[in-house]
Amino acid sequence: MPYFKTRDNVELFYIEGGSGNPIVFVSSAWLSSEMWEFQMPFLIEQGCRCIAYDRRGHGRSDRPWEGYDYDRLADDLAALLEHLDLSGVTLVGHSAGCGEVVRYLTRHGSARVDRIVLACGTTPFPMKTADNPVGVDRIYMEADLALRTADLAQWYTNNAASFFGIGLAGISVSPAQTKFMIQQCLECSPRAAYAFFVTGFTSDLRRDLEAIRIPTLVIHGDQDMQAPFVICGQRTAELVPGSQLKVYENAAHGLFLTHADRFNADLLTFARPHRKPAESSSSRTDRPASTSARRR
């Protein structure tokens, strides 16, 4: 199986297939490269080269005790791109993985990366502070961590329905598929599950987003409970100059599965090598962002 070494000698697993314009997937917290099974086959068939990897502490990668801050994780992503000597890359992040994508750009530049996709991102800054009053109070994060520590398997099980949006009109996920995704999460080391969640919740990426100068597509569900649209997707799109915002109605955090056909089509269109660059004016969207704000 293919592995590469990070700068601190941690071995990380990756998978790749296809040829042509490279798309590199950065997974959600706790999930591994297997979460992209709904995207990679389709995009490879459409002539793209697809690469996904297991973050440290996740899946088949090494499980060090340290290194779950965005700086180190961005360095891990850089090590992958350097190992494969990639250029013209489309980076696709999901959830807290979007933070790695954003921090990679501010830490390593865009010489290898042409465009990014931020799907259901926890950016820009989930935690409530004096200058971030729309965030979530840290006390709720700490209470949630206590529940996870007491029974991690049960916590994943209890939150599966809201992750996929089960119960929303048109959303159907089989019990077997739900169990499979929970098992992926359980394969993440408890240390990584704890430390990376804290990183995603407490990291302020507002300035990082404002510094982005390459085409950026923000995709978010208007029923996302894990990364609420109003404080995450909408604000992310507002901060990235010239970003494009696509709001999926009736979609939750796991839209890569529940809305795979639409998501795949949007990724393919955006990743095409000869597409026009993003507009330099204010963020564009498929529909007014205020519509989603009123719905919540």
Taking the C-alpha atoms of residue 217 and residue 166, their distance in angstroms, rounded to an integer, is 26
ω before 273 within 30° of 0 (cis)?
A: no
Which pairing describes strands 49-53 and 11-17: parallel, antiparallel, or unpaired? antiparallel
Closest C-alpha among 124, 11, 125, 130 to residue 59: 11
* Closest CA relative to residue 186, chosen from 14, 28, 60, 30: 30
Residue 84 and residue 15: Cα distance in Å, rounded? 11
SS (H, E, C) the chain: CCEEECCCCCEEEEEEECCCCEEEEECCCCCCHHHHHHCHHHHHHCCCEEEEECCCCCCCCCCCCCCCCHHHHHHHHHHHHHHCCCCCEEEEEECCHHHHHHHHHHHHCCCCEEEEEEECCCCCCCECECCECCCECHHHHHHHHHHHHHCHHHHHHHHHHHHHCECECCCCCCHHHHHHHHHHHHCCCHHHHHHHHHHHHHCCCHHHHHCCCCCEEEEEECCCCCCCCCCCHHHHHHHCCCCEEEEECCCCCCHHHHCHHHHHHHHHHHHCCCCCCCCCCCCEECCCHHHHHHHC
- Please identify every residue annotated as catalytic: 95, 224, 253
